Structure formats: C-alpha cells, structure tokens
Amino acid sequence: MSKIIDDLRGRMAKVGKLMWDEGLTGKKSIYLAGGNISARIPDTDSILIKPTGGSFGSLKAEDFIVIDMNGRVLKGDFKPSSETPMHTAVYRSRHDVGGIVHFHSLYCGVFGIAGIELIPLTYGGGPGVQFMRGVPIVPWVRAGTNELGEVVATALQDRSILLLEFHGAISVGPTIEQAYHVASKAEELAEFQWHVMCIGKPNMIPESARLAMVEAARKKGEFV
C-alpha cells in the first residue's frame, strides 16, 4: 500500500505543477494557492489532499496529507486544505470519483461571477463530452463550510464539472489526472465562449446531437 500511496503523491504533485503552469490556480501575482486537489487512495476510505496555503508551483509529493472521509488527519505535517469539507462530501456521495480539482482560473471565474453558465459550443474530443449538457453555476455558499460541501456534492451527482459563484470551479474524475483534464478543458471552453460572445450571441450544438454524444459515451462506460 505504501508504494501505491507514494505513486499517488507523485502524480498529484505533477498535476499541481501542471495547474500552476497552465494558470488554473489564478493569476500568479495574486494567488499562490488558488484552489486545491485531492485523490482517493485506492481500496480505502482515505484521501490524499493538498495542504492549506502554499504554492501549487512548489508542491512536493510529501506535502500531501492523508485524511479520512470525515476530514480527520491520519498522516501529514501540515493542516489540510480549508476546502476539505467540500472534497470529503463529494467522495462520500460519489464512489466513482477518484480525483477532485478545485481551481480559480481566469475565464471560469469570470463566468461564475457574471452568472453566465458555460454552454456547449464545440466538441473537441477528449473530455469534451462532459460539457455537452453545459456547465451550471452553484449559487454562493461560504467557502470551507459543510454546507458548501453538501450543496456541491448534490449538484455533482450526474456531472463532472461545475462553476462556483464567486469561487472558481470544481471538476471530478475517476483519477486525479482526468479531473485535471476536465478542469483544463473547462477553462479552454470558457475562453472560447468569451470570444464568441464578443462578436455575437453563442449558438449551442443542437440538443439532439448533444444528448446522443452523452448517451453514446455512457454506453461505452465513459465517465461523463
């Protein structure tokens, strides 16, 4: 088990660095810790989660903390993320989720603050099918609370990505890498929608085509 955990720690550190390099953690001069990540330790009721504070750009494998499903620290030298209640609530309600990414990227943040949902404008493959029903916005609930955790867990019952009003976005996946890819794609699509809105009203992909894509992905056993 220790080898599995060590491997997962390394994978999470890599994802954190990718998020930092890509700008998913927010403007670097303003945010050092714009978001948090976690992963379920396979075949256990334990989670690895980012410590509170600290830069995504300098995360090391040994920095991640082991907690249980109620947020109790089992192993680690730091305090776990202030958003631990949100992560644990999602894992308790979604047994298929193996990784969570909460991020504060520019364009997803802008749409969440403006109250404008992301809509399906293009299908670019990869995690694109997760966006065929659009990306709704969870109304503001105070960060770090059990209430936010329950609201987000409920909204994520049949989705992989949500915008959080005034509070970035959250994505989930069967692995931490897939949760990251959904987050990355969400920011890409948010930027795309921004540019479309600069020149006119966005037109969505027809509903019948979108639903057919989702159904086909589900039949293949894909995480949608």
CB 163 within 8 A of CB 137: yes
- Give the chain's length: 224
Q: Using CA atoms, how far apart are residues 155 and 177, in angstroms rounded to an integer? A: 21
Please give, one letter per residue, the 3-state secondary structure of 131-190.
HCCCECEECCCCCCCHHHHHHHHHHCCCCCEEEECCCCEEEEECCHHHHHHHHHHHHHHH
- Decide: residue 71, CB within 10 A, 0-12 exposed, 13-18 middle, 19+ buried: middle
User: Which residues form the catalytic set?
Assistant: 83
The answer to whether residues 196 and 205 touch, using CB atoms and an 8 Å cutoff, is: no
CB atoms within 10 A of CB 4: 12
- Close Cβ partners of 14 (under 8 Å, ≥ 6 residues apart): none
Residues ≥6 apart with Cβ < 8 Å to 108: 118, 163, 168, 169, 186, 187, 190
